[in-house]
Amino acid sequence: MASDNGPWNIGGPGPRPPAGNGGGPWGGLGGGQGGGGRPGQGPLPDLDQLVLRFVAWLRRLGGDGGGRGLALLGIAAVSLWLLTGFYRVQPDELGVVLRFGAYVRTTPPGLNYHLPWPVEEVLLPAVTRINRIEIGFRTAPAEGPEQNARTPDGETEPARGQPPRELSEESLMLTGDENIIDINFAVFWRIRDAVPYLFNTRNPGYTVKSAAESVMREVIGRTPIQSALTQGRASIEQAVLTGAQAILDQYGAGVEITQVQLQKVDPPAEVIESFRDVQRANTDADRARNEAQAYANDIVPRARGDAAGILGAAQGDRQATIARATGEAQRFLSVYAAYTRAKDVTLRRLYIETMQEILQHTPTVVVDDRLRSILPTLRLGPEAAPSAAPATGKGGRQ
């Protein structure tokens, strides 16, 4: 009967395994009298016998329609396996498909399909997210369900309203003039190329942090502390961004740094009060220097203007005196030339001109003819003019 020669006895007639031996498809391979797996209990069946016993067990399990059931079961299993290849790419993500661990293609946002595991798998990096890395400080994670939220690279998301935790081993740097400065800054970056980002560096976030910190130390090492504390902050941020991006491009990290933001630039906390005292003293010195410079800028030009005016007036007087002396000399020479040509006429003319000049500045005295005997010394007659003029030039009054 079929019950006597079941699927477990296809290899030949023999007793059925005991009920307590288990009715598995492999018969008595587990031990007992039906065939042993240990020495002394009979030889092990070969692979063909095991396969035949398994097929017979499946047929017995499915009955007369076992073949069709197995087929449907296989089709359902394969269908479910194929359906696991559907996946969704979010709007801020990019699908990177790997086939046996090697890059094959990228897929855009939306519903996509890949061959199910273990043939293909997909990675979904967030290519539009702006990631933040803090250097020199760490912001405490927020309380609540999001307190353990992290970026894809393991960096804790910055909390809101929490005091930062200072890390002096990262923030203390040496300036170009051999001063120590305490700098906290944040680096903002995003994925520029997903494939190099996933395969060229093991930890892109740590790579960005190391590159930015290294470049910041280099830039601060060339910058005086006064410039770093005041007007040089923008140039420092730009120099760090450019230098860190060059390093990441050299590594092929597939990362783009969008911004470097200085959070705090101060002297070390231990000496900050003394430094502020020095800064106040320098400010007072600068103010006094500026006031003195302003006074000098006011008084010096005015003194220079006065000196220039005096020099100009003296030069004008000099020129006028020379011109006047030259004119008088020329006049004297012209008079002398006229005198040499006509001495009598020249003498009379000189007498007349001299008397005219004298009488213009002398009060007029009118004398009656009857008084001529009283004033004989005046010699007011026309006959006295020729003789008196050559002698004194001022001897009479008419």
Q: Kindly report, residue by residue over 241-296, the tens digit of the pLDDT.
A: 999 999 999 999 999 999 999 988 888 877 777 777 877 888 889 899 999 999 88
Q: CA 239, CA 267: separation in Å to the nearest integer? A: 21
Cβ(44)–Cβ(35) below 8 Å: yes
Tell me the pLDDT band of 66, cut-offs 50, 70 and 90.
low
Q: Supply the pLDDT for residue 58.
A: 62
Residue boundaries of the structural domains of the chain: 7-83, 86-123, 135-141+152-267, 343-391
Which residue did the predictor score with more confidence, 383 or 296? 296
Burial classification of residue 318, based on how many CB atoms lie within 10 Å of its CB (0-12 exposed, 13-18 middle, 19 or more buried): exposed
Chain segment 6-34, per-residue pLDDT in tens: 433 434 444 444 443 444 444 444 444 44
Residue 64 reports pLDDT greater than 80: no
In this prediction, residues 80-86 reach a mean pLDDT of 85
Q: Supply the pLDDT for residue 179.
A: 85
Q: Supply the pLDDT for residue 4.
A: 42
Q: CA 155, CA 231: separation in Å to the nearest integer? A: 31
Nearest to 179 by CA among 267, 273, 240: 267
Q: Supply the pLDDT for residue 77.
A: 81
In this prediction, residues 351-374 reach a mean pLDDT of 75
Q: Please provide the DSSP assignment of 86-149 as one string.
A: EEEE-TTB-EEEEETTEEEEEE-SEEEE-PTTTTEEEE--BSS--EEEEESEEEPPPSSTTTT-
Q: Which of 53-67, 197-211, 315-329, 331-345 has the lowest mean pLDDT?
A: 53-67
Classify strands 164-166 and 137-139 as parallel, antiparallel or unpaired. Answer: antiparallel
Q: Which residue has the tokens 């070390």?
A: 268
Nearest to 34 by CA among 7, 73, 64: 7
The chain-wide mean pLDDT, for the chain, equals 76
Residue 395 reports pLDDT greater than 80: no
Q: Supply the pLDDT for residue 55.
A: 67
Q: Supply the pLDDT for residue 358.
A: 85
Residue 126 reports pLDDT greater than 60: yes
Q: Supply the pLDDT for residue 370.
A: 65
Q: Supply the pLDDT for residue 374.
A: 55
Which tokens go with 332?
């004297």
Q: Supply the pLDDT for residue 189.
A: 94
Q: Which residue has the tokens 């004298």?
A: 358
Tell me the pLDDT band of 57, cut-offs 50, 70 and 90.
low
Tell me the pLDDT band of 167, cut-offs 50, 70 and 90.
confident
In Å, the largest CA–CA distance within the chain is 208
Q: Which class is 135-141+152-267 in CATH?
A: alpha beta
In this prediction, residues 312-340 reach a mean pLDDT of 88
Q: Supply the pLDDT for residue 140.
A: 64
Rg (C-alpha) for the chain, rounded Å, is 60
Which residue did the predictor score with more confidence, 147 or 29? 29
